[in-house]
Amino acid sequence: MMEHLLLQNLTKRFQDVTAVQDLWLSVNAGEILALLGPSGCGKSTTLQMIAGMLRPDTGSIVLDGKTLNAVPPENRDIALVLQRGLLFPHLTVGENVAFGLKMRGVNRVDRESKAKLILSQVQLEGFANRKPAELSGGQAQRVALARSLIIQPKLLLLDEPLSALDANLREEMQELILRLQADTGITMLVVTHDQSEAVVMAQRIALMFDGRLRQVAPPEQLYGQPVDERTARFMGGVNFFLAEARGTQWTLENRQILTSQQPAEGRVWVTIRPEQIQIFPAPIDAVNCIQAIVTTNRFMGTQRRLTLTAGDLTLQVWTTPGQDWHIDQTVWAVLPLDAVWCFPVTETSTAGQ
């Protein structure tokens, strides 16, 4: 793929606080990349530097081979959609959408025609003459998205665009953004603190902690093969076990031996996603088949969350709602070879503590 956006050695400080430290990141043309991390990790600061709202202390921002550091925001060919659309209240929806074209000198007939077309694409046909005060939150975000797409920018930045919407509207907007991106091929950088949103929307995720990139990978890899314990925890990991690794054979502290497809050596944290553990009512001929007892069973609507104990080993398991196991029932848990993952024990590791 062709490199479209390149961030090199990007650093931003606010007095004694370093918000972004030595960030190197590339985004491919036509890609949706999610910049993910907890509040205060530096992701929105990074976005503001790309948009030109903040100037980096060191490093460079390169778009299609052109360095943007000294280029004013309005000349960067970048569009930004914020958490709340920030529409012009005195303009109609159609005028809001066409505003960027007006600033570019496009005649009234053409910009009204293009505004009408893109409003149809975001499912707001017939809304051109309404005022922003007459819109719901989801409709306002669609107008903001249309206003950004109509100018056909080289890069679209989305800063927590769906966090103010309720769950159903978020899903609708996710589908809309994905469909529009597929239709237009525009490159998108999405900032979010929501792991599920990043997994659903992005081809790759760049995870940040404390102003630094921790791991850049496709969602499946970040989700199932985290680079360290903090990444695993942030992506929803709940199963962590100390082990001594010898190749693909890992001996847990209770002497239980697990087999993995990932060779490792020395002291490691073993992890497995709770939904990847399989449960059976009787033993089966499988590697990593562990006899255990169901100690908790909580119905969560879309899943059941179980706790299994096997001696001093505790497993958190998420199953489908239809798999209803009884408390104190003896079951056999299978940990698939390709789902068992590990990372080295370090001084900063906190798993299991």
Residue 138 has pLDDT above 90, yes or no: no
Following DSSP, what letter does each residue of 140-188 receive, concatenated? HHHHHHHHHHTT--SEEEEESTTTTS-HHHHHHHHHHHHHHHHHH--EE
Mean pLDDT of 318-322: 93
pLDDT at 352: 45
Element (H, E) at 93: helix 93-103
Question: How far lies 33's CA from each of 43, 96, 126, 135, 203, in Å?
Answer: 12, 27, 32, 29, 6
pLDDT band at 86 (very low <50, low <70, confident <90, very high): confident
69 shares its domain with 176? yes
Question: Does residue 349 fall inside a structural domain?
Answer: no
- Hey, CA dihedral for 153, 27, 215, 304, is it positive or negative? positive
Give residue-wise pLDDT tens across range 46-67.
Answer: 999 999 999 999 999 999 999 9
Residue 353 has pLDDT above 50, yes or no: no
pLDDT at 85: 63
The pair of structure tokens assigned to 27 is 């985004």
Cβ atoms 100, 150 nearer than 8 A: yes
135 shares its domain with 264? no
pLDDT at 82: 84
215 shares its domain with 93? yes
175 shares its domain with 270? no
Question: Does residue 353 fall inside a structural domain?
Answer: no
Residue 103 has pLDDT above 60, yes or no: yes
The pair of structure tokens assigned to 54 is 């903040």
91 shares its domain with 179? yes
Question: Does residue 210 fall inside a structural domain?
Answer: yes
83 shares its domain with 184? yes
Q: Say how many C-beta atoms besides its own lie within 10 A of residue 276's C-beta.
A: 18
220 shares its domain with 266? no
CA 42 from centroid of its chain's CA atoms: 15
Query: What does the alpha-carbon distance between residue 214 and residue 225 come to, in Å, rounded to a whole number?
Result: 13
CATH number of the domain residue 124 falls in: 3.40.50.300
The residue ranking higher by pLDDT, 154 or 324, is 154
212 shares its domain with 292? no
Give residue-wise pLDDT tens across range 232-254.
Answer: 999 989 999 999 999 999 999 99
CATH number of the domain residue 325 falls in: 2.40.50.140
290 shares its domain with 336? yes
The pair of structure tokens assigned to 297 is 């069973």
pLDDT band at 162 (very low <50, low <70, confident <90, very high): confident
Overall domain count for the chain: 2
Residue 220 has pLDDT above 60, yes or no: yes
196 shares its domain with 329? no
159 shares its domain with 86? yes
Give residue-wise pLDDT tens across range 19-42.
Answer: 999 999 999 999 999 999 999 999
The pair of structure tokens assigned to 247 is 């190749």
196 shares its domain with 257? no
Q: Among 183, 208, 224, where does a domain finish? A: 224
Residue 167 has pLDDT above 90, yes or no: no
The amino acid sitting at 79 is A
Mean pLDDT of 298-306: 94
Domain range enclosing 281:
230-344
